Every structure is written in structure tokens, then in C-alpha cells.
Structure 1
Amino acid sequence: MPEREVELLAAALRRDSADLNLYAEVLSVNLVDSLPPGAVQVKRKRSVTDRMSGRDGAVTGLDVTLGERRLALRVDRAVVVGEICKEVRGIVLSRRQVGLDEWIDALAQALADAAASNARAREAVERFLT
């Protein structure tokens, strides 16, 4: 995928990132709906009120696995911690903590790389760009 499209994808992924809780919720829903089953794991924290009203709860973590890359995002109130891992057959070979901007860039690149060889990932990229 051309570098310009990766930049557009990163910009689309950054959209609405000012409200971290809303951003994590929207991003998790879009990724789960767009990527192959099992590629996205969402961690949530459910309060008593969430349980009683049947809500899913707030997103506290997001793990996206594309090929040998696993991108983890943890949200705790106003603190966001991103992590980029190289993982082969379930074994983490390297792990690096990053800020939100670098995590989004890495996610955009991983989605673009997956889109080059996978029709469903290509549809996901197109969905983020529109």
C-alpha cells in the first residue's frame, strides 16, 4: 500500500482520539467488525450499573494481532499505554511501550500490510478511509 494511503489511514484512526474512552470504544467496535475473527481482543471493565442495565462496560484494553505483530492499547482514565510486540506462535520476541500517536501509526502500517494480502483487511482499511 502506498505511503500516502498509510498516512490517510493513520489520520482516520486518530479521528476523535481527544476523548479516550469514546475513542477506545469506537475503535474496538470498528476493528472487531472489520477484521477476521480472533484478530481483535477487547477487555472491558463493567460496573454494577453496567451489569444491571445490560451494558458491556468501558473498554480498558485492546489487543490487535496482525501477522507477527500484536498491538496492545490500555486505557485507564486519562492514561493510555500502547505496546507493540513481535510475536511468533504465541511467544513474544520483543515488546516496546509507545505513546498513542506511535501506536496508531503502527496499527495503520499493520492494517496496510494485512490489506495487501487479505481481502477482509482491505475492506477494513477502506472502511476507515471513508
Structure 2
Amino acid sequence: MTTGPDEPADGAGGLEPSGLGPMGDVAVLAAALRTDRADVASYARVLSGALGDALPPGTVEVGHRRSLADRLGGREGRVESVLVHGEGRDLELRADDERVHAEMRRVSGGVVISRRRVDVEAWLQALAEDLTRIAARDASARQAFERWLRM
């Protein structure tokens, strides 16, 4: 999903850590996220761990499936889903057996008004766009993203 001509890619001033401009930064961020593509759990680790401090509170929700052994052992269980709340949309990645499903939802006033399944590539592109917008507005987020991209 790309931004339209009336909608700046970074949502504000101009995030240019890569020197490629706002759309180049989206591409760099999407490529970095793509390297962690192994499973939903890896995205959950990146979004709640390495990038979690850069994101506003409540932006990322990680869902777990807990077996009886997990409950008895006091463990969180297996990561089942990652939900990222963006501006006017939610992005969800869900593991279902051996497959990964990606969904984009348009949200208005906290109510889902439309949803569509997309491939993981489109989901990553949308996520990179949202993260770039956050970084353009928030200096500490921008620094955290830059540190993560250099890892």
C-alpha cells in the first residue's frame, strides 16, 4: 500500500536517516522487517522488544496461546498474533497452524469499518509506513529506529 499524492509518506517534516528521503526510509525499514520474517513470534519480538520503547504505549498488542503446561509452568505461551494500532488503521499478523495471515483494518473512532486480508509483503509495507510516520513526529522514536536499523 502506498501513500497518495495528497498524503505525505512520513506524515510530517522529513525523516531522512538513510539519505533516501521519506519513501526510501519506508523501503529500508520494510527490508529490515522482512529479514525477521521467520514467524509471527519474531515480529512480536521486534515490535515489542527492540522497537517497543520507541512506539507509543498501547501501539502493539501481542496475543499468546497458552497450553495447560504453559499455565502450570507460569509461562506466557506461544505467540499467536501481533496487532499494531496505527493512525486510522490496525495491522494484524496471526499464526494459524503453519500459515501466517495478515490483515489490514480501517478504523474510525475505535470501530473497525472495513477489513481485508493482504499478503505479508503488503502488511510489512503498511507497517513500515506507520513506523516512519511515528519516527517523523517523535525524536526519541526516530533515534530508536535508527539504532535498530544499524543492528
Contact kept, 8 Å, 1:28 with 1:42, in 2: the verdict is no
More strand by proportion, 1 or 2? 1
What is the CA–CA distance in structure 2 between the aligned matches of 1:21 and 1:11, rounded to whole Å? 16
Instruction: Report what 1:41 is aligned to.
Output: 61
Alignment of 1:1-130 (within 5 A): 1=15, 2-17=22-37, 19-30=38-49, 31-130=51-150
Which secondary structure state, in structure 1, belongs to the residue aligned with residue 62 of structure 2? strand
Q: Distance in 2 between matches of 1:128 and 1:95?
A: 30
Q: Which amino acid letter does the alignment assign opposite residue 56 of structure 2?
A: P
- Residue 13 of structure 1: how far off its partner (Å): 0.9
Whichever structure has more helix as a proportion of its residues is 1
List 4+ stretches of structure 1 deviating above 3 A. 31-34
Alignment TM-score, normalising by the size of structure 2: 0.74
Note the residue ranges of structure 2 that are not aligned, 5 or more in a row. 1-14, 16-21
- Aligned CA-pair RMSD: 1.9
Q: Indicate if the aligned counterparts of 1:82 and 1:97 stay in contact, CA closer than 8 A.
A: yes
Distance 1:121 1:66, change over 3 A: farther
How far apart, in 1, do the equivalents of 2:127 and 2:34 lie? 11
Normalised TM-score (structure 1) = 0.85
Unaligned residue ranges in structure 1 (runs of 5+): none
Cα distance per residue 1:72-113 (max 9 Å; x no partner): 111123211111122121122332211111111110011101
Paired-residue identity, %: 41
